[in-house]
């Protein structure tokens, strides 16, 4: 934890809002989940199948965090085997809108990144 005493020369203090939000969105599962819920409410197991590679544990954990942050809503429908529907909240939607920008950036610039990587890797011979 530390003190977070105003050291003065820190551009990014540990407690700034950016850090808090970053701790949330610096979680690829959270970003992917928000992206899906943006379109429509989805049930737990459905989400699980939609997101390749996520485990039940991570999905559960991530949803809980997102719910805690007020970014997604949880609605338990008392059917026989209980059904739970997750949806994005208005707040979550504003964030997801920002993230859309990121998704667009990804698709637009991914190629340049991959090229840069290739060049970097071939340049530093001998490493590894």
Partner DNA sequence: CAGAATCCAGCTCGATACTG
Partner DNA sequence: CAGTATCGAGCTGGATTCTG
Provide the binding-site residues for a copy of itself, judged by CB under 8 A.
2, 4, 7, 9-14, 17-28, 31-32, 35-36, 49-53, 67-71, 91, 94-95, 98-99, 101-103, 105-107, 109-110, 112-117, 119-121
* Least Å from the CB of residue 115 to a copy of itself: 7
Minimum distance from residue 42 beta carbon to DNA (Å): 8
Orientation of helix 28-37 relative to helix 90-123, angle to 10°: 130
Q: For residues 20 and 70, is the Cβ–Cβ distance under 8 A?
A: no
Instruction: Starting at the earlier edge strand, list the strands of the sheet with 72-77.
Output: 42-43, 83-88, 72-77
Give the nearest distance from C-beta 27 to a copy of itself in angstroms.
Answer: 6
Per rule CB under 7 A, is residue 84 in the interface with DNA?
A: yes
Question: How far is the C-alpha of 128 from the C-alpha of 121, rounded, in Å?
Answer: 10
Nearest CA to 25 out of 62, 73, 74 is that of: 62
Query: b or e along 80-111 (b: 16 or more beta carbons within 10 Å of the residue's beta carbon)?
Result: eeeeebbebbeebeebbeebeeeeeeeeeeee
Interacting partner of 32 out of DNA, a copy of itself, none (Cβ under 5 to 8 A depending on kind) = a copy of itself
Q: Is residue 88 at the binding interface for DNA, with CB under 7 A as the rule?
A: no
Which among DNA, a copy of itself, none contacts residue 11 (Cβ within 5 to 8 A by kind)? a copy of itself
Residue 82 vs 111, nearer CB to DNA: 82
């Amino acid at each position: 934890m530390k003190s977070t005493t105003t050291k003065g020369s820190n551009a990014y203090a540990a407690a700034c809002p950016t850090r808090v939000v970053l701790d949330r969105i610096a979680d690829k599962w959270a970003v992917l989940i928000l992206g899906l819920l943006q379109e429509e409410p989805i049930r737990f197991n459905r989400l699980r199948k939609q997101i390749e590679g996520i485990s039940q544990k991570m999905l559960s954990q991530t949803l809980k965090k997102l719910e805690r942050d007020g970014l997604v809503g949880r609605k338990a429908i008392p059917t026989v085997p209980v059904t739970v529907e997750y949806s994005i909240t208005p707040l979550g939607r504003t964030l997801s809108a920002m993230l859309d920008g990121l998704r667009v950036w990804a698709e637009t610039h991914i190629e340049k990144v991959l090229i840069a990587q290739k060049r970097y890797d071939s340049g530093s011979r001998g490493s590894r």
